[in-house]
Structure 1
């Protein structure tokens, strides 16, 4: 089995569907995930209190989600942004499962991580051929 060629293009419909996914994920990470952390949403504050490392981590995670959400919506940074968000969501899922004993709350970061992984994998060849 050979690796896909970096010059091979995906079908137009798949390309457009991927952009819709990227924009929706980007909006979610910015509006529903990062901004509430900056605003001090009581749920976010409680989660980071439960983690026990201090509220500074809430701001760091919020900044990473904000940067990743914006990055998903730009062509040149979509792959690094998606990759970073996948790693962040793996950390979130592990924290929910091990530290917070979250049960069903583990599902959200796993689903978000899987969707951003789709973006990272699907866009990797485009990043290789993007003129600098």
Structure 2
């Protein structure tokens, strides 16, 4: 049983809306990385791990976006993207500078979705 079964239809719609918004944002960002958009190449050059890391990040973002859209895997997608954005925030703060606010917002939204979709323990049957 997931926590989504314990909420109102309005709350479910809000979570779905955020999931769709995140999927669009991460899908676009991931595809830009995979396509070699000049800005993405420049950012990952500044990171200093090499362009292979841009490809890995792009695959993670596109994969996470797809996982968010599947009800059974939404929690995993949210968790994957939350961790990715935590890394992006740290990268901005420690390595490349710039404004970490977009990464912070995406991390918080991803964390919210992850929390709302977290697996709930099943109630155990009591034997008298």
- TM-score, length of structure 2 as denominator length: 0.88
Q: Tell me, which stretches of 5 or more residues in structure 2 are unaligned?
A: 123-128
Counterpart check, 1:13 vs 2:26: no
Are the equivalent residues in 1 in contact too, given 2:24–2:65 (CA < 8 A)? yes
Aligned-residue offset at 1:10: 0.2
Q: Following TM superposition, where does structure 1 have runs of at least 4 consecutive aligned residues deviating by more than 2 angstroms? A: 5-8
Residues 1-132 of structure 1 aligned to structure 2 (within 5 Å): 9-31=6-28, 33-102=29-98, 104=99, 106-125=100-119
C-alpha RMSD over aligned residues: 1.9
Work out the number of aligned pairs and report it: 121
Shift of 1:25: 0.7
Residues 1-44 of structure 1, C-alpha deviation per residue, up to 9 Å, x if partnerless?
Answer: xxxx969610111101111110111111102x101101111110
Larger Rg computed on CA atoms: 2
- Looking at structure 2, the residues matched to 7 and 66 of structure 1 have their Cα atoms a distance apart, in angstroms, of 24
Structure 1: gaps of 5 or more residues: none
Following the alignment from structure 1 to structure 2, what is the Cα–Cα distance between the partners of residues 87 and 68?
11
